[in-house]
Amino acid sequence: MKWIMLIIACLFEIGWAVSLKFAHGFTKPIPSIFTIVGMIASFYFLSLALKNLPLGTAYATWTEIGTIGTVILGVLLFKEPVTITRLVCIYFIVIGIVGLKLVSR
């Protein structure tokens, strides 16, 4: 259950980051509301996960999955470039997440 809470937190993390891009500096009300609600939900589910997961593992996983998700959506929604360097960096992030999961049983 602790990992499910963390995954939900990660999904909200991705959602608010993408909403922030659409909010254009909080000048557009609907995306701004989604951003704020997503931030609150993300922190809430992260706090639930932190009840049973080590802080370093949970926080690192939360930020890493958020990073990967926003990079993928940046490419799909905003036509951001896909380069070998970006792909290699994402690969290392994934390795870090797997490693943290393995040592946090």
What's the whole-model pTM score? 0.86
In the chain, pLDDT over 70 holds for what percent of residues? 99
- Domain tally, the chain: 1
Q: Which domain holds residue 32?
A: 2-103
Residue 104 has pLDDT above 80, yes or no: no
Residue 105 has what pLDDT? 65
Residue whose token pair is 């890493």: 64
Structure tokens at 65: 């999955």
Q: Which sign, positive or negative, has the C-alpha torsion 15, 7, 75, 67?
A: positive
Render pLDDT for 23-41 as a digit per residue (tens, 0 to 9): 999 999 999 999 999 999 9
Residue 21 has what pLDDT? 96
pLDDT, the chain, mean: 93
